[in-house]
Amino acid sequence: MGQGRFITFEGIDGCGKTTQLRILAEALRTAGREVVETVEPGGTETGRQIRKILLDPANTAIHPRTELLLYFASRAQNVEEVIRPAIHAGKLVLCDRFTDSTLAYQGAGRGLDSETVHDLDRVACRGLKPDRTVLIDIDIETSMARAKKRNQRTGPDESRIDAEGAAFHTSVRQRYLELAADESGRFVVIDGRAPVETVAERILEALAADV
Ligand code: TYD
């Protein structure tokens, strides 16, 4: 049995983390590792229902504290139902976003204080912390250009958070970089503007000792 591990992927919208998470999961499965992929918000049936409320652009009345509690409600369910059992079974869990997203988006983006976010994290995750976190960093112009391209391809699909402006996303990115600097042992920061294959190689290299 492998050793249970918990690795999260973070970054602003359009950074490519979802693609990179899939590439890593496939590479590790090919190498014989048991991998569980999950996502926040979502990852469980309950979480998917909460996700719909959170991302629906029609929900203009959601208060920032309500939003915060809903993200943690989804996370509590994911931790209990998917993440912790998989880690205990010796699997490698790859999670698309986790509490660092809340610190960046609700903390820096919405201006909620990080102590409140940490308090809720203790309630929802009961001490579970990622072993490693991959932060895929891109600048705001690249993020916006990729969102525009995606909308041209698939039609407008902006979620409530995607619709926020450049200032919001700039403070989210800034907070991510601060979090990474504060916990440089847990975070690996990868330049997301490089070609997909190059980013994938760098991630695999950086995580070699952990996967
Ligand atoms: P998603 O469509 O998954 O975006 P992405 O593909 O960029 O990950 O939507 C998730 C959105 O929710 C994203 O805009 C970030 C936001 N979010 C928060 O604001 N707080 C959180 O705690 C989490 C997990 C996500």
The pLDDT tens digits of the residues spanning 173-196 come to: 999 999 999 999 999 999 999 999
Which atom of ligand 1 lies nearest, measured to the CA of 110? 19
User: Going by CA atoms, what residue is nearest to atom 12 of ligand 1?
Assistant: 161
Confidence of residue 152 (pLDDT cuts 50, 70, 90): confident
Q: Which atom of ligand 1 is nearest to the CA of 39?
A: 3
Cα of 41 from ligand 1 centre, angstroms = 7
32 C-alpha to ligand 1 centroid (Å): 30
* Helix runs in the chain, H state only: 17-30, 45-55, 64-78, 84-88, 99-102, 114-125, 140-154, 166-182, 196-207
**Considering only CA atoms, which residue is closest to atom 11 of ligand 1?**
161
Question: Which of 3.30.70.20, 1.20.1250.20, 3.40.50.300, 3.40.640.10 would CATH assign to domain 5-206?
Answer: 3.40.50.300
pTM: 0.96
Q: In 3D, which of 132, 131, 142, 130 has the Cα closest to residue 191?
A: 142
Q: Whose CA is nearest to atom 5 of ligand 1?
A: 13
Which atom of ligand 1 is nearest to 54's Cα?
12
Average pLDDT value for residue range 92-102? 98
Output the CA 195–ligand 1 centroid distance in Å.
Answer: 23
**1 has a pLDDT exceeding 70:** no
